[in-house]
Amino acid sequence: MTDPQSRTTAPISTDPAAHPASFASDNWAGAHPEALAALAAANVGHAPAYGGDPWTARFQALAKELFGPAAQAFPVFNGTGANVLALQAAVPRWGAVICAATAHINTDETGAPEKTGGIKLLPVETPDGKLTPELVAQQAWGWGNEHRAEPLAVSISQSTEFGTSYTAGEVEALAEQAHGHGMLLHVDGSRLGNAAAHLGASLAATTADAGADLLSLGGTKNGLLGAEAVVVLRPGATPGMRALRKINLQLASKMRFASAQLTALYEGDLWHRSASHANAMAARLGDGIAELGAQNPGFSLAFPVESNGVFALLPAEAAARARTRYAFSEWPGRPGLFRLMCAWDTTPEDVDALLALLAG
């Protein structure tokens, strides 16, 4: 038997070359240096736990500046937790949530809204990941019918899982429809910054100002380290939020570290700088693929590039060649359709190298 004390563990390399760039997900990117600096600055002495600290108070004040005086912010650990918490607070046990079939809550959260939140999802097929009032109407029925979960909320992703972005007018139309039926409108804003940067709009333009009631405010995909938030945009929309955050295992004891990062991201222009850069790299990649498509019909863009994601149809041999160096994924159930994500730290050199590999 080997002596446990004789075992050695190889150190993890801190050489950036050992951790090359990828296009698999913006979650693969590291934390932004400014977020880490904010984290370190908050690591001083003792501070009240569970949100009683000055960093969380500062973020609360910032949320009101960004989304209006009624806004209330609740820092949480991750995007799935934010979505489950927001929807559980918005919908009673007999309620349901209308969403796009491709929505993150429906396809990528292992059934968490339904299994953990106890919420029935009513998915709708969409051509580009975006709901419209006409599409919502397919599931907006059955109120008062004891045999059907009542649709009591609509959830949209900004940007969508296909990288498309809702305009303010499109969100306003959905909010008007939802409120007309007594439903709330929730925005899954894990990439809200990317959509806002693409639209040249404020963070509030497609959320609070457009009539949304609840927002899952992203942080991790734009350079933070385990920091997201639920923002209640309309007073009284979710009276049980404080208790439900604890029940859903999303109440941080050392909340100051999440709040400090969120403030660093959203208080100035860091969110816009990071999102705009990621978007620009996606646009560069999308333009390159479109140019390849002009020479080879096997290359084409499946959706407009409206955030930091590129969805492209690629020849199998080109994708295989590029994946020898860069990680990226084929969209489930859509052979030949690939998702390529850019991040705050993606470089033009990485984009050009990927395009060169695709071109062969």
pLDDT tens digits for range 61-116: 999 999 999 999 999 999 999 999 999 999 999 999 999 999 999 999 999 999 99
Dihedral sign for Cα 156, 158, 162, 168, please: positive
| CATH number listed for the domain at residues 33-268 | 3.40.640.10
Q: What is the DSSP letter of 152?
A: E
Q: What is the DSSP letter of 162?
A: T
What number is the average pLDDT over the span 47-55? 98
Structure tokens at 312: 């492209």
For the chain, the domains span 16-30+271-359, 33-268
Give phi and psi for 72, each to the nearest 5.
-130, 130
Structure tokens at 101: 């079939």
Per the prediction, the chain carries an average pLDDT of: 95
Contact 173, 185 (CB under 8 A): no
Which of 249, 278, 261, 250 is closest to 219 using CA atoms? Answer: 261
- pLDDT at residue number 7: 59
What amino acid is encoded at 181 in this protein? H
Which of 128, 135, 198, 139 is closest to 168 using CA atoms? Answer: 198
Q: What is the DSSP letter of 13?
A: P
> Is the whole-model pTM more than 0.85?
yes
| CATH number listed for the domain at residues 16-30+271-359 | 3.90.1150.10
